[in-house]
Chain A
Amino acid sequence: MLVFNMLKLQNAIVELYRKAATSLPEDVETALRLARRKEEKGSNARAALSTILENIEIARAGERPICQDTGAPVFFVKAPVGLSHLKLKDVIIKATRIATREVPLRPNAVDIVTDKNSGDNTGIGFPVIYIEETKYNKLTIDLMLKGSGSENIGQLYKLPIAELKAERDLEGVKKCVIDTIHKAQGKGCPPYIIGIGIGATKDQVTRLAKEQLMRNLNDINKQKVLAQLEKRLLNDINKLGIGPLGFGGKTTAVGVKIGINHRHPASYFVDVSVSCWADRRARLIWEVKSEE
């Protein structure tokens, strides 16, 4: 049986929320700085990126949320064997209530039947928590605060699609992603980071796509073919010219990440999950000790 100090872990998750909400990961910030350099002087795109970068600094220095939409919290947890998943969920929910009050986060959990906001970011299936076991003896908690402006522009595809001339191959996948971003235009706060999931069932690919948004922008896909496709897609998306916040410009996206599962012979699902420029993710690694 593995044990952990509930209170300490709860406090650490509150801090994880604070970190995710108020400070952008370094790789994303660096990508935005590079994007700014590429836009023409005096252009709306460059002015927008300057304000975005200034905002990141203000938020970090004052420990204030980067964006007022502190999103739907999505947890990807890797728990060592023997650690209770129920207890983990309980700690996450308690920490969510505290973080909502203390960071503060915007209460974003709305009841479907009553249309009432729960006021503390908890509710049915809220926050979103995925837990899986790991053979390692460390507990890893990845948190993403998923803004809804960008969540709303995500799309799920079932290949083939005649209108896109998208067949059941990686070229077809590419067309789906270009379609998503073309349809989205500037509505989800570009420059975007794009996660793609490919596989057999709808539920599996949507989760897989979201998980890709947790990857560091500098992380190169282990499969060479996919690494090349990620690069090519990024290049093609930036040809669309939508630009920062949709003002027109060279940078519509700063990252494309692909995840795959095996598919059924009859199914070829592609999910495209999009993050706004504020790809707020943070990681907590927790040592777990065995009970004597």
Chain B
Amino acid sequence: MKSEKNKIINLPLTKQDVLTLKVGDMVLINGQIVTGRDKLHKYLFNEKPSKKDIPFNLEGAVLYHCGPIIKKTPKGFRVVAGGPTTSMRVEMYEQRIISEYGLIGVMGKGGMGMQTLKALKENGCVYLHTIGGAAAYLAERVKRVAGVWKLEEFGMTEAMWILEVKDFPAIVTMDAHGRSLHEEIEKRSFREFKKLIG
């Protein structure tokens, strides 16, 4: 996905930087991101751990919806496969997590709903859609596993992994200006759906 069209994102980002990102932009991400899926979202939403209890500063961070395959080697953890999971499953939690923890990006696949879109606009945050199923390709762009939280309690898939990435590709599909590519495509496909149903 490398081309001159790509915008480079060096993390952490400021809210100002986020406003320059628009729906359709292809981006390459550099820096540290954190993973979190069903269990982590449920935990952050219900237990509301304070920021100091989390071993990574989520302020200005990108939360990646991903349950990776990780191998433990003598040199530490290594990501074997690390593509995105379906983001819509955490729709009911994401709005509050974005605003309470100050995320500037949420990354996954399949897009999210109206609640999250509203939160993106109110908090200066973007939704990054990476390549579903491209787990080997994306794992090669993880340079190091910098840490992990809740591994014992949640297990490998659901733990929060801190990953250092380089040239990690994604497309902005929901921006901080209230635009959602998913909403637009759904509307267009609904017109065709009506025609086909008759």
Contact = CB atoms under 8 A, between A and B. Distances in A.
Interface of A: 42, 44, 47-48, 50-52, 54-55, 58-59, 62, 64-70, 104-108, 117, 119, 147, 149, 152, 164-165, 175, 178-179, 182, 185-189, 236, 239-243, 245-248, 276-278
B67 interface: yes
Best-surrounded residue of B88, B133, B140, B157 (most CB of chain A within 10 A)? B133
**B interface, size bucket:** 35 or more
Contacts of A106: 67-69, 81, 156-157
Contacts of B109: 149, 186-187, 189, 245
A68 B69 contact: yes
Nearest to A24: B133
A67 to B, nearest CB: 5
Contacts of A47: 1, 3, 26, 171
Contacts, number: 166
16 contacts: A44-B24, A44-B26, A51-B1, A54-B137, A64-B136, A64-B139, A68-B81, A105-B69, A107-B157, A149-B85, A152-B86, A186-B185, A188-B86, A188-B110, A241-B192, A243-B185
A186 to B, nearest CB: 5
A119 to B, nearest CB: 8
A119 B69 CA distance: 12
Nearest to A280: B133
Q: Chain B CB within 10 Å — which of A58, A59, A67, A188 has the most?
A: A67
A25 to B, nearest CB: 14
Contact of A65 (B3, B135, B169, B184): B135
A17 to B, nearest CB: 13
B7 to A, nearest CB: 14
Contacts of A185: 110-111, 182, 185-186, 189
A246 B129 CA distance: 10
A187 B133 contact: no
Given A55-B133, A149-B86, 19 more contacts: A44-B24, A48-B1, A48-B131, A48-B171, A51-B1, A55-B131, A55-B135, A107-B156, A149-B110, A175-B196, A185-B186, A185-B189, A186-B110, A187-B88, A188-B110, A240-B193, A242-B189, A247-B173, A277-B133
B71 interface: yes
B182 A245 contact: no
B33 to A, nearest CB: 15
B26 A175 contact: no
Given A149-B132, A187-B88, A50 B196 contact: no
